[in-house]
Amino acid sequence: MKKAIILTAGIGKRLGNLTKDIPKCLLRIDSENVLLDYSLDALKENNVNEIIFITGFAEEKLKEHINKKWKNKFSFQFIFNDKFADYNNIYSAYLAKDLWDDETVLLNSDIIFHPDILKNLIGACHSHKNGNPVTLKQVDSSWIPASAGMTKSFLVIDDKNKLDEEDMKVIVNENGEIKKINKGLNINESFGEYIGITYLRGNERIKFLESLENNVKNKKLDIYYEDALADILNSSSVFPCSTNSLPWTEVDTEEDYKTAKNIASLIRNPVVV
Cβ(86)–Cβ(110) under 8 Å?
A: no
Both 151 and 205 in a single domain? yes
Pairing of strands 111-113, 248-250: antiparallel
- Does position 50 have pLDDT exceeding 90, yes or no? yes
Residue 16: which CATH number?
A: 3.90.550.10
* pTM metric for this prediction: 0.91
Least confident of 132-146, 192-206, 222-236: 132-146
CA distances in angstroms from 20 to 61, 64, 241, 248, listed in the order given: 12, 17, 35, 24
150 in the same domain as 94: no
Query: Does 242 share its domain with 253?
Result: no
Residue 79: alpha-carbon gap to chain centroid: 18
Q: Are 27 and 68 within one domain?
A: yes
The mean predicted confidence, pLDDT, of the chain is 91
Q: Are residues 148 and 102 in the same domain?
A: no
Q: Express each pLDDT in 80-126 by its tens digit.
A: 999 999 999 999 999 999 999 999 999 999 999 999 999 999 988 76
C-alpha–C-alpha distance, residues 228 and 94, integer Å: 10
Same domain, 241 and 129: yes
Q: Which residues contact 144 (CB under 8 A, 6 or more apart)?
A: 124, 136, 137, 138, 176, 242
**DSSP string for residues in 65-86:** HHHHHTTTTSEEEEEE-TTTTT
State pLDDT tens for residues 175-216: 999 999 999 999 999 999 999 999 999 999 999 999 999 999
Q: Which domain holds residue 36?
A: 1-111+249-273
267 plus 223 within the same structural domain = no
Total domains in the fold of the chain: 2
